[in-house]
Chain A
Amino acid sequence: MALQGQEEIEEQIEEPEDFQEQDVSISPAEELPNGPGDEDSDPVLLPWDRFSAWLHCICVVGFDLELGQAVEVIYPHHSKLTEKEKTSICYLSFPDSNSGCLGDTQFCFRFRQASGRKSSLACFLDHFDRDAPVCLKRDQGHYYGYVYFRQVRDKSLKRGYFQKSLVLISKLPYVTFFHSLLKLIAPEYFEKQEPCLEAACNDIDRWSTPYPGKILTLPIMGVVMKVRIPACYDKPGTSQLVQASQNDALVSIVLPTIHEVDLFRCFCPVFFHIQMLWELVLLGEALVVMAPSPAESSDTVLALVSCISPLRYCSDFRPYFTIHDSEFKEYTTRTQAPPSVILGVTNPFFAKTLQHWPHIIRIGDMKQAGEMAKQMKVKKLKNLKTLDSKPGVYSAYKPFLSRDEEIIKQLQKGVQQKRPSAAQNAILRRYFLELTQSFIIPLERYVASLMPLQKSISPWKSPPQLRPFCQEEFMKSLEKAGPQLTSRLKGDWIGLYRHFLRCPNFDGWFRNRRKEMTQKLEALHLEALCDEDLKLRIQRHTEVEIVDLVLKLKDKLTQAEREQLPVRAGTLAKLQSHIESVILSLPEDLQGILYKPATP
């Protein structure tokens, strides 16, 4: 019911201007390298740079009777992976032997990047991230592996089965996008082998870089994919791309989203506990998902991580984790409290190894999206002993907030009325979004109040500092401007905040905010400086002081450029001309020295 109005609400947004212009003005080659998609990327891109902006490499993992799982091919051949990374990829690219995935399976994993490798290209790529929402930025310490696994009976092989995975390794968390991409590449690869990979990589190396906020046209193996990477300035819930008319999938495909998983389908087996799960994820509690296959474990883990969006989940999470993982010991040790991580596992061995974990989600075979879990109660942990244990949530956790019965009823009604899964997913996504926003708005408001007053910014003093975050002060602000303003949910919000302020998700969120606000202060300071009459000021100063001023201004300018400070348009140019006019007022010998470009 709630979705009936969707058609009217849908907003016909014009295609971005450059895009449209090209269509109308018979302009050539819009998808060519150095095309209009990259007005920001002034540096010349070398071969494979574009590819690297999307993928680290493509691996083929096969099964060798003597060696076991092995990386057979890495493409492009020059890509670097350490032995440890290769081992991780090998184990993580195959389902555990007991999963018995016959046919084609898709899933994803995430593993730690071996340390100490940051190329200049990586720094350059990070800059595309500036406008990406926090949840979609490149992952700094990890790689994602997106897997397309095929297992079919083949009597001609000694093992009796053909088993192979095509794996995309990337730092980008665009799960839906990469799974769609794999659906196009992998089946062709399994039939046509290496020329197919060569062609695919060549296509990808001609793509425009993943720039947030733009509609990108990405040709791949005879099909054109159209996607839009959300930008941080999108209004929450508005970033889906929809094509007005039906298209031939052999010609072009429009992906509505690059990263959103089907929350409703993923949470179906534990449907009654969604709100409790939201709290557990929000608070960064140790959580393990035990599922029958890597597809289900990775979907569920990604759904969990994304349910607190637009907040970023800051702890480690592993959509598919195996006993061979390099962090296996670290994460399963009993000598310490379970770490703040979310693991997805399929190996029954974990039922024993992780018995001491506080929160365990067991899912059985994913049912059709319509069927819903009947189990209402959270189960006692001591009842979880073996793999045979029933699906459900096992935890001793007592939620801070009282349960929202309305969302449960609304979704149940949807099931009875056979509401399409996409609509159910949209309802659930909106529910989580509103819940998270109700929770985060008071924090945003309080943190905004830590900003010094504009009038305290003086061009001739260093920029003022942010006031420190004071927990008690924040708690006090909740009395008047708490989540009760936007959420009907009752319960112990205060307790929830207290816990949250101690967890990594708060830390990550606050760090990010503080950085943004500090940059904003720097920017305001810079603007104030530009509005000053420098010529007038230097008249009253000695030569030494003026040289000092020039050097300081130059520093400011470099900093502003490097950190891409959010200054008003034209500020930097204005500062540059200020610097030049100040230099011109100095004796000639000094002019020559100061004009030299600053050494980096």
Chain B
Amino acid sequence: MALRELKVCLLGDTGVGKSSIVWRFVEDSFDPNINPTIGASFMTKTVQYQNELHKFLIWDTAGQERFRALAPMYYRGSAAAIIVYDITKEESFQTLKNWVKELRQHGPPNIVVAIAGNKCDLSDAREVSEKDAKDYADSIHAIFVEASAKNAININEVFIAISQRIPVVDCGGGAAGKGFKLRRQPSETRRTCC
């Protein structure tokens, strides 16, 4: 089975739950008191999709403004971006739109965009309507889910949806395995005097 490395970045306002989504996906756990991310944190998880193994190389970026300028390092070369907003914070949805614009202008041309409205367990405090968000996502052909890292709702689903949208590569060449080779330098036959 071929293994493909897929770089995925998470973008979005500070405190919307990017790291929580990753923790839920990778570790299947939730901690309400995690520290703000510095720069970005990195995790991986491999899932099977049809005949392929998709190894997600997940760059969970810092939402804080002072790290804003670093974002290009993380979406550069990404196969997908998950842009997260908090359904209880209208402002975070506006930030999301700016991220979409930035990706359009500077991101990789074929990047798969997924929009995730996190904290859907707090619907009492909702500020962003599901329909508005869904309409917006459709207008830019993005994957859309409302999710809850806390209650494990729609977290795996986002990644599955991403796998589905990743173009299939032709691996007819056979050499698609990503194994490593240890190179043995060709050794000359030794000459001896006797």
- The yes or no answer to A27 lying at the interface (CB within 8 A) is yes
- The yes or no answer to B140 lying at the interface (CB within 8 A) is no
Q: Select one of B3, B176, B190 contacting A23, CB under 8 A.
A: B3
Binary interface profile of A, 181-216, with partner B (CB < 8 Å = 1, else 0)?
000000010011001101110110010000000010
Which residues of chain B from 20 to 65 have any CB-CB distance to chain A below 8 Å in the complex? 26-28, 38-48, 53, 55, 57, 59, 62
Which residues of chain B from 97 to 149 have any CB-CB distance to chain A below 8 Å in the complex? none
In the complex the two chains form, what is the Cα distance from A240 to B184 in whole Å?
A: 8
Which residues of chain A from 1 to 60 have any CB-CB distance to chain B below 8 Å in the complex? 2-3, 5-6, 9-15, 22-32
Which residues of chain B from 55 to 92 have any CB-CB distance to chain A below 8 Å in the complex? 55, 57, 59, 62, 66-67, 69-70, 73-74, 76-77
Contact A14 B183 (CB under 8 A): no
Most buried by A among B9, B67, B77: B77
- The yes or no answer to A486 lying at the interface (CB within 8 A) is yes
Binds B, one of A170-178, A246-254, A331-339, A584-592: A246-254
In the complex the two chains form, what is the Cα distance from A202 to B76 in whole Å?
A: 20
Residues of B within 8 A of A12 (CB): 179, 181
Contact A14 B179 (CB under 8 A): yes
Contact A251 B5 (CB under 8 A): yes
**CB-nearest residue of chain B relative to A8?**
B186
- The yes or no answer to B168 lying at the interface (CB within 8 A) is no
In the complex the two chains form, what is the Cα distance from A45 to B150 in whole Å?
A: 29
Contact A486 B190 (CB under 8 A): yes
Instruction: Tell me the number of A-to-B contacts counted with CB atoms below 8 Å.
Output: 169
Binary interface profile of A, 346-358, with partner B (CB < 8 Å = 1, else 0)?
0000000000000
Contact B57 A252 (CB under 8 A): yes
In the complex the two chains form, what is the Cα distance from A188 to B7 in whole Å?
A: 19
Residues of A within 8 A of B55 (CB): 23
Check A199/B182 contact, CB under 8 A, given A31-B43, A222-B73. no
Residues of B within 8 A of A426 (CB): 185
Check A252/B5 contact, CB under 8 A, given A23-B53, A222-B73. yes
In the complex the two chains form, what is the Cα distance from A235 to B180 in whole Å?
A: 17
Which residues of chain A from 373 to 412 have any CB-CB distance to chain B below 8 Å in the complex? none
In the complex the two chains form, what is the Cα distance from A597 to B175 in whole Å?
A: 56
Residues of B within 8 A of A27 (CB): 45-46
- The yes or no answer to A73 lying at the interface (CB within 8 A) is no
Contact A13 B180 (CB under 8 A): yes
Residues of A within 8 A of B74 (CB): 222
In the complex the two chains form, what is the Cα distance from A196 to B183 in whole Å?
A: 35
- The yes or no answer to A372 lying at the interface (CB within 8 A) is no
Check A485/B188 contact, CB under 8 A, given A222-B76, A245-B177, A251-B7. no
Residues of A within 8 A of B28 (CB): 28
Check A26/B46 contact, CB under 8 A, given A198-B38, A200-B39. yes
* B100–chain A nearest beta-carbon distance, Å: 19
Number of B interface residues, CB 8 Å?
Answer: 50
Contact B182 A238 (CB under 8 A): yes
In the complex the two chains form, what is the Cα distance from A251 to B75 in whole Å?
A: 10
Check A206/B42 contact, CB under 8 A, given A239-B182, A486-B190. yes
- The yes or no answer to A237 lying at the interface (CB within 8 A) is yes
Contact B183 A192 (CB under 8 A): no
Number of A interface residues, CB 8 Å?
Answer: 68
Residues of A within 8 A of B193 (CB): 484-485, 488
Q: Select one of A15, A215, A238 contacting B184, CB under 8 A.
A: A238
Check A6/B183 contact, CB under 8 A, given A23-B55, A24-B53. yes
Residues of A within 8 A of B69 (CB): 191-192, 195
* A511–chain B nearest beta-carbon distance, Å: 30
Q: Select one of A3, A198, A252, A488 contacting B39, CB under 8 A.
A: A198
Contact A13 B181 (CB under 8 A): yes
Residues of A within 8 A of B70 (CB): 188, 192, 195-196, 199, 221
* A502–chain B nearest beta-carbon distance, Å: 28
In the complex the two chains form, what is the Cα distance from A2 to B189 in whole Å?
A: 11
Residues of B within 8 A of A547 (CB): none
In the complex the two chains form, what is the Cα distance from A219 to B57 in whole Å?
A: 9
**CB-nearest residue of chain A relative to B185?**
A237
Contact B3 A242 (CB under 8 A): no
Contact A202 B183 (CB under 8 A): no
**CB-nearest residue of chain B relative to A221?**
B73
Residues of B within 8 A of A196 (CB): 39, 70
Contact B185 A29 (CB under 8 A): no
* A262–chain B nearest beta-carbon distance, Å: 15
* A265–chain B nearest beta-carbon distance, Å: 17
- The yes or no answer to A159 lying at the interface (CB within 8 A) is no
- The yes or no answer to A476 lying at the interface (CB within 8 A) is no
Check A5/B43 contact, CB under 8 A, given A222-B73, A485-B193. no
**CB-nearest residue of chain A relative to B190?**
A486
Check A237/B181 contact, CB under 8 A, given A206-B42, A248-B77. no
In the complex the two chains form, what is the Cα distance from A118 to B179 in whole Å?
A: 40
In the complex the two chains form, what is the Cα distance from A32 to B44 in whole Å?
A: 9
Which residues of chain B from 143 to 194 have any CB-CB distance to chain A below 8 Å in the complex? 175-188, 190-194
Contact A31 B44 (CB under 8 A): yes
Contact A29 B43 (CB under 8 A): yes
Q: Select one of A28, A195, A250 contacting B76, CB under 8 A.
A: A250
- The yes or no answer to A430 lying at the interface (CB within 8 A) is yes
Residues of A within 8 A of B45 (CB): 26-29
Contact B41 A206 (CB under 8 A): yes
Contact A199 B67 (CB under 8 A): yes
Contact B180 A15 (CB under 8 A): yes
- The yes or no answer to A593 lying at the interface (CB within 8 A) is no
Check A11/B182 contact, CB under 8 A, given A26-B46, A221-B73, A251-B7. yes
- The yes or no answer to A224 lying at the interface (CB within 8 A) is yes
Binary interface profile of A, 420-444, with partner B (CB < 8 Å = 1, else 0)?
0000001001100010000000000
Contact A10 B179 (CB under 8 A): no
Which residues of chain A from 217 to 274 have any CB-CB distance to chain B below 8 Å in the complex? 217, 219, 221-224, 226, 228, 235, 237-245, 247-252, 254, 256
Contact B26 A203 (CB under 8 A): no
* A225–chain B nearest beta-carbon distance, Å: 11
In the complex the two chains form, what is the Cα distance from A26 to B183 in whole Å?
A: 29
Contact B7 A250 (CB under 8 A): yes
**CB-nearest residue of chain B relative to A426?**
B185
A sample of 28 cross-chain residue pairs with beta-carbon separation below 8 angstroms, ordered by A number, consists of A3-B186, A10-B181, A12-B179, A15-B180, A22-B46, A23-B3, A23-B55, A25-B46, A26-B45, A26-B48, A27-B45, A28-B26, A195-B39, A198-B39, A219-B57, A224-B5, A226-B180, A237-B184, A238-B184, A241-B181, A242-B183, A243-B181, A245-B176, A245-B178, A247-B5, A252-B5, A256-B183, A488-B193
Q: A222-B74, A240-B183 are known contacts; what are 13 more A-B pairs with Cβ within 8 Å?
A: A24-B53, A26-B47, A27-B45, A28-B26, A28-B43, A29-B26, A188-B73, A196-B39, A199-B40, A203-B42, A240-B182, A241-B182, A244-B177
